Every structure is written in C-alpha cells, then in structure tokens.
Structure 1
Amino acid sequence: MNSLPITSSQTGVHEHLSALVARHADAGAPFRKPVTDYNRRAFEHSIAAWRAAGAAPLILDTGCGVGLSTLNLATQFPDHFVIGIDQSEDRLGRNTQWDGPPPGNLCFIRADLVDYWRLLLEAKVFPARQYLLYPNPWPKIGHLARRWHGHAVFPSIIALGGVIECRSNWRIYVEEFAAALTQLSGRPTACEAYATDTPITPFERKYLASGHALWRCRSELPPQKNDAG
C-alpha cells in the first residue's frame, strides 16, 4: 500500500501501457517466475482455512497491509470468506485499531502476490471478488512494469475473474488499471471518483480526512466454476 505523497511528471495513461499489456497477454506461455516453497505452503494454508470454513464465496484482499480492510470486508460480506494477503510480516502484525472481536470468516497470510495469484489459477480456485486497495503506485514514468496492470502477472488476475475493484488516490493509476482491464477482458471499465463515509483502510481514512480525491474502477467479470474439493 502507498503511504507517501505521489510525485510524478506523468500526466495521463502511459503511452506504452497497451503494448505492454498485449505483450504479456500474447507471450505464448505462462509467466515463468518460479513459485517459492514458502509461498506454496502459505497458499495451501490459506486455502485449507477457506475450505475448513465451508468454502464460501471467496474474497481476496490483496496487499492488505495491516489488515483493517480485510476485517471490514469480512464484516461487509458475512456470507463470504476473506483472505488478506500481504508480503510484509511487520504490516500484518501491527495494531489495526479494530473494535471488538474479529469476524470469523477470514484469514491472513504472508505471501508474494505474484506467486499467490498464479497458485490460485493452478488450483482452479476462483474468487468472487478481488480488491486491490491503494497499491504502491510506482509513479515514475519508468515504473510502468512495476504497477500491477503493467506487470506480467496481470493476465492471471484477469483470468481469475470475479468482481475486480481497484482504488487509489492517484487518478492515473486507476485510469491505467481500467484501460488494461478493458483491454484484456473486453468489458468496458472506467475510472470514477470515489467517496465514502465508511473508509475501510487506514490510507482511505487518512486521504478522506485530508481532503484528497479518491478514485476507483470496478468490473464484474464472468464467474468461473470453483474447485472447492
């Protein structure tokens, strides 16, 4: 998640985004970064927790940081199971300032998202919803391939399907995410202004309190048959 002010000379959707997305989609072979043993064990642990809870419709809170968004999503969707994923043990261990006992329909896992998304596809476990809330924007022009929509794993995110929602305080990030999502899915997706009286992440709360504009895009992709076996 992004906690720093965004400074960038980029003023619109990156001119190379479409070509980069097409190259990743047309590579002719899956993204071949080896999955680490740690990430595979973390993935198996979280999927076992989901199955033990009844394999309810699955929500991914990717890059969940301190986990406040995961707790809020689990409360908002009590008939779903939410997996909060972050690569930082320090962030996952911090105080979330959550009032009362946590909901029971969630688990947290420390893992690399690049591996986690691909392991979901490999296991044919398809989320009902995917949230990418205030990801690191990588705002410099040369950072395009580090943003999720410019990363080689982005086709895997789209292949998992479900409702995909991205929020950021940097409009360009959401505009690019929407453009890449539209390009790969064929479903028109747009960036829109976002405001709420009930912020669900620490950054969302901070940005709203300081008067920052927030942006989001949301697309509902066709559901896929889940393997809950």
Structure 2
Amino acid sequence: MSDAPRIVTSNQTGPHEDLPRRVSRGLSHVWRKPLAEHTREAFAEAETWRRAQGERGLILDACCGVGLSTRKLAERFPEHCVIGVDRSADRLSRDHGRLPDNALLVRADLVDFWRLALAEGWRPERHYLLYPNPYPKSVQLKLRWHGHPVFPAIVGLGGRLEVRSNWRLYIEEFAIAVSRATGVTTPLGPFDPGDDPLTHFERKYHEHHQPLWHLVVNLDHRPGLMPGM
C-alpha cells in the first residue's frame, strides 16, 4: 500500500462566495465564546516563559503538531524565542528531538490562545501557519482559519505571517481574507522547501511531488481588529 499523501479535492471550483461576508462579520461582531481554563493556564505559563526570554523577538508556530517546525525555527532563528502551540497532547508528546533553550511547546486551544495573545499585547515578529487542515468541503468554510471567527485575532497580532498549504485554493482564500481585513494585498506563489522541510507533512508532500503554495504578508499590530479585545 502506498503511503503517498492524499491530494486535496473539493467541490469548490474557486474561492468561496461567502468568504467576504464571514470575514466582515468577524470584524464587526463580538465573539463571546468562553475561554477554556486549560488554555488560560497554558497561556499564563507561556507568557511567564516569554518574559524570561528578555528582549528576544517572538516567533509563533501555530498548529505545530509534533513540534518539529518549532525546533527547526528555533535553530534557524537563535536570537528569537519560538513558541509552538498545538491542541493535541498526543502529538506534542511524540519525539520531536531535543528542543533548543529558545523554544517552548504549549498544549492549548489556538482559538483561545490567539485571543489571549492579542489581549496581552503580543507582537510576534514571525507567525507561521504550516499545512493546516484545509477542510475542503464547501460547507466547511467556517472551519478554515480564514473563515473562522478568530481570524481577526490572527491578523491583528501583526508581524510577518506565513501560511503554507498543499491546496492552492486555501492560500487564495487566505489572501482574500487578509486583504478584506487589513487592506494589505499579497501575492501567493509556489513554494519549494528544498532539502530542509519544516514539517513532516511538508517533507512527505515534497517527496511525492505535490505542488506546495504559500503566502507571506507583513502586517501591522492591530488589536482593534478583534471586537471586544
């Protein structure tokens, strides 16, 4: 049996027609989902660790999975502190190699963690979303990060935001959502990870010659994008 990764298929032929409305709603309506207590505690521990790093710039590795990308980012940017966040205790418990001293893995619900980070005034210099689950069915738009109510917090944190996916349409939609939320337009393009992919998924996609896509956008810190923050 082949272990080739499945190519993303969708019943969409272009960007979702409801995306602009969902982004606009996220920018204008206070989202009242209660914050999970375990994420409050995890964020407090991460904030204590971040402050102990002194003047180092912050890199946020969202949906970090087993933490390989967090370790590699910490090695690539030793002058920064890198925080990897994932909701799965199982993934975070797997062997991801020795973490450098400037890296921290956190188990938390990112939906709450992003909002807490925005409220606390975090300003990551770099912010990564690497190969998130694309939820390719048209009815699943609200589960994609750019269609989710938390999207204003993602872009409100600012910094150099980089999103990678093996589904071009996901990147197209993300670029549309960023433009609608911030007025910043950014081109998307193909991406080649070379000989040092950041994640296991990236390595597998690349080895099986799946096209990879990414967008990189530099954003201002805009906490006011998230109503109620």
TM-score, length-scaled by structure 2: 0.91
Distance 1:194 1:108 in 2: 26
Q: Percent identity?
A: 48
Letter in structure 2 aligned against 1:21: V
Is contact 2:156-2:221 (8 Å) kept? no
Off by >4 Å, runs of 4+ in structure 1: none
CA RMSD for the aligned pairs?
1.5
Distance 2:76 2:220 in 1: 22
Letter in structure 2 aligned against 1:173: Y
Offset of residue 43 of structure 1: 0.3
1:214 pairs with 2:201: no
Which stretches in structure 1 are left out of the alignment for 5+ residues?
Answer: none
Offset of residue 127 of structure 1: 1.1
Offset of residue 7 of structure 1: 2.4
TM-score, length-scaled by structure 1: 0.91
Say which of 203, 206, 213 aligns to 1:205: 203
Say which of 105, 111, 116 aligns to 2:108: 111
**Deviations along 1:33-68, whole A, 9 cap, x unmatched?**
111111100001011111112241111100000000
The answer for the alignment partner of 1:181 in structure 2 is: 178
Is contact 1:179-1:190 (8 Å) kept? no
Distance 2:55 2:126 in 1: 14
* Matched residue count: 218
Letter in structure 1 aligned against 2:34: P
**Deviations along 1:179-204, whole A, 9 cap, x unmatched?**
10111111111221101212110000
The answer for the alignment partner of 2:47 in structure 1 is: 47
Is contact 2:156-2:220 (8 Å) kept? no
Distance 1:4 1:149 in 2: 22
Distance 2:134 2:110 in 1: 16
Distance 2:118 2:144 in 1: 21
1:196 pairs with 2:198: no
Offset of residue 18 of structure 1: 0.9
1:65 pairs with 2:65: yes
Letter in structure 2 aligned against 1:7: T
Offset of residue 103 of structure 1: 1.5
Letter in structure 2 aligned against 1:42: A
Is contact 2:7-2:210 (8 Å) kept? no
- Which moved further from structure 2: 182-191 or 127-136? 182-191
**Deviations along 1:95-119, whole A, 9 cap, x unmatched?**
23x4xx4311010000000100000
Distance 2:83 2:119 in 1: 17
The answer for the alignment partner of 2:157 in structure 1 is: 160
Say which of 119, 122, 127 aligns to 2:119: 122
Distance 2:162 2:197 in 1: 15
- Which moved further from structure 2: 79-88 or 53-62? 53-62
The answer for the alignment partner of 2:91 in structure 1 is: 91
Distance 2:107 2:217 in 1: 26
Task: Pick closer, same or farther for the CA change 1:113–1:190 going to 2, 3 Å.
Answer: same
Distance 2:122 2:160 in 1: 14
